[in-house]
Homo-oligomer: A and B are copies of this chain.
């Protein structure tokens, strides 16, 4: 063990695991591109003010994973010069920048600063994000998201495309049976209004609704009453109503029930239209209407959705519409919708289902010089170049170990081909290939080794 351990809540990915993760990322990338999207790489570091202004109440209360620059040192020095006491120091003054907690805020900031970008823009990303959370099996402090933002569009068809694309991504990495819960902030807003919960308490109510899966109802009612000042009786009615078993087939009933409630009507209309678009995207079977779904982050304004899988404890994807986010942070009015996939949780589910393959050998050909004479090693190097150029990943054994040990290594590593070279091969300008699977051996001119092995590349892929 290193005397400097791994940082809490972070993971090391290596030896096949990282390759498999990058391959998944590449699948996501190709799918995003297939829908005409372009990649965006926002910086990991954003101003603490931006992060604070757009996180959830929960994230703010429990603290983000902040990055303080050496500003902290200046703060201490200045305070000392001014004769301040420790009590007079304000922790917020130490904060300058922070690590992004999701992709949406950074990408929106980029859009806010680049007015000339033609819209609608479809921007996708594959990035790590950070949260200073209590760690646990399912709670990492550094975790990966692949997501997309549709910026500068009010069209509900884009909300539908987002859901369909999220569903497609999950299918394409092997989660055929994922499903999405859908709701609309407008609908919830209408319901809260119907139960006479004032608009000023709406954000608080949403925060509590977001915890429905995690906490007991009595606990949530306490929190609503004590922390958010929401009338307990009214909020209990809201919970009772939302928890009823409504689905897409009940939208007409709900429309009648909320007659005259404009927000609720709009919410219901959008949900209905969305479902129709989802049929065209061939994704309608993977979605259901969930009246309790709220999503924690403050910035959502319309459709919200989360992806689930029966083998995951919590959602594996989530997104929604945020029409005010970019103007809120000082950009031009730019309505948007987007989602992020929780790559780590998706991998957990794939692992549990035996569908996650980390067994990716580094090399496909292992070149074994039978001596460690410099000239034999050099011949091995020359013979490898041609094989590499024919698309076969080739490693060379420079260690001088016995040929038996080298063959054991090739076996253990599941490398399909060994290529043996020694003084005889060097003089004859040949390579002895061994097919590790069949045991077949053949000596061929080294000038043909690349082409010959390249031809079998697809077979061993």
> Interface on A for B, CB 8 Å cutoff?
1-7, 10-16, 18-19, 21-22, 26, 29, 33-47, 49-50, 53, 63, 65-70, 72-73, 76, 79-80, 84-87, 89, 91, 94, 97, 99, 109-110, 112-114, 117-118, 120-123, 128, 130, 132, 141-142, 153, 155, 157-158, 160-161, 273, 276-277, 279-282, 329-331, 360, 362-363, 366, 374, 377-379, 381-382, 385, 388, 391, 393-396, 398-399, 409, 412-413
* A21→B132 CA distance, assembly (Å): 29
* A33→B16 CA distance, assembly (Å): 11
- The chain B residue with its CB closest to the CB of A106 is B12
Task: List B contacts of A1 (CB < 8 A).
Answer: 112-113, 330-331
**Chain A interface mostly:** mixed
- The chain B residue with its CB closest to the CB of A328 is B3
Task: List B contacts of A161 (CB < 8 A).
Answer: 381, 396
Pull 29 A–B residue pairs with CB atoms less than 8 Å apart, ordered by A: A1-B330, A2-B113, A3-B329, A3-B330, A4-B329, A6-B43, A6-B109, A7-B47, A10-B43, A10-B44, A13-B41, A15-B38, A18-B38, A19-B33, A34-B394, A38-B362, A44-B142, A45-B130, A65-B69, A66-B69, A66-B70, A86-B86, A120-B399, A122-B362, A122-B395, A157-B381, A161-B381, A277-B378, A280-B381
Task: List B contacts of A44 (CB < 8 A).
Answer: 10, 44, 99, 128, 130, 142
* A282→B374 CA distance, assembly (Å): 16
- The chain B residue with its CB closest to the CB of A123 is B14
Count of chain copies: 2
